[in-house]
């Protein structure tokens, strides 16, 4: 598993490419997976991309991946604001976790969208760079894995 980067996606991201394309663009999760693989595979790392609308399932994925991963890229989506069980599960993980948001959460229409509770337990955050943020997060995890 130390050769794997887990890419976890929260609620409604299964509709990426269809849902509010003026905010999130037209790329799909399949496109995201391809971009992540392009960064990881030359370094001998695998990508395991998952999406769930279930907070319980997300907690289980973090618990299962708490040891032995090269890193985790996490787009919490709607879990960003009140999913404390997910936040607690991230604390159990022994690898770097990079939080990714497709839109710039600090420029969104509602102030509450700018306050992700996950940021406090993540290694870093990328926000507002579209789906390219995923590949950038993977690139950083590849760098960290080489050290």
Summarised one tens digit per residue, pLDDT across range 117-130 is 999 999 999 999 99
User: Which pLDDT does position 138 carry in this prediction?
Assistant: 98
φ, ψ at 115 (rounded to 5°) = -115, 80
For the cut 70, the answer to whether the pLDDT of residue 114 exceeds it is: no
- Note the pTM of the prediction, 2 decimals: 0.94
Work out the pLDDT band at 39, boundaries 50, 70, 90.
Answer: very high
User: Which pLDDT does position 36 carry in this prediction?
Assistant: 98
Work out the pLDDT band at 112, boundaries 50, 70, 90.
Answer: low
Residues whose CB is less than 8 angstroms from the CB of residue 42 and which lie 6 or more positions away in sequence, other chains included: none
Run of H or E including 85: helix 84-90
Q: From the candidates 24, 26, 106, 134, give the one annotated as an active-site residue.
A: 24
Work out the pLDDT band at 13, boundaries 50, 70, 90.
Answer: very high
Clarify whether 81 is annotated catalytic: no
Clarify whether 101 is annotated catalytic: yes
For the cut 80, the answer to whether the pLDDT of residue 59 exceeds it is: yes
Q: From the candidates 84, 101, 106, 134, give the one annotated as an active-site residue.
A: 101
Q: Right CATH number for 4-146 from 2.40.50.140, 3.40.50.460, 3.40.50.9100, 3.40.120.10? A: 3.40.50.9100
User: Which pLDDT does position 73 carry in this prediction?
Assistant: 98
Q: Is 93 helix (H, G, I), strand (E, B) or coil?
A: coil
**Residue 95 burial by CB count (10 A; 0-12/13-18/19+): exposed, middle or buried?**
buried
User: Which pLDDT does position 46 carry in this prediction?
Assistant: 98
Residues whose CB is less than 8 angstroms from the CB of residue 71 and which lie 6 or more positions away in sequence, other chains included: 5, 6, 95, 96, 97, 98, 141, 144, 145
Per the CB < 8 A criterion, the answer to whether 112 and 106 are in contact is no
Q: What count of residues does the chain have?
A: 147
Cβ atoms within 10 Å, residue 137 = 29
């Amino acid at each position: 598993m130390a050769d794997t980067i887990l890419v976890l996606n929260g609620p409604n991201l299964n509709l990426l490419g269809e849902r509010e394309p003026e905010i999130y663009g037209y790329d799909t999760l399949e496109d995201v997976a391809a971009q992540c693989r392009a960064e990881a595979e030359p370094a001998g790392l695998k990508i395991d991309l998952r999406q769930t609308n279930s907070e319980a399932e997300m907690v289980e994925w973090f618990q299962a991946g708490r040891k032995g991963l090269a890193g985790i890229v996490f787009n919490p989506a709607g879990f960003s604001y009140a999913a404390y069980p997910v936040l607690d599960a991230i604390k159990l993980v022994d690898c770097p976790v990079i939080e990714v948001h497709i839109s710039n959460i600090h420029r969104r229409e509602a102030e509450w969208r700018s306050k992700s509770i996950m940021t406090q337990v993540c290694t870093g955050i990328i926000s507002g760079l579209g789906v390219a943020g995923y590949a950038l997060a993977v690139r950083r995890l590849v760098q960290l894995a080489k050290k």
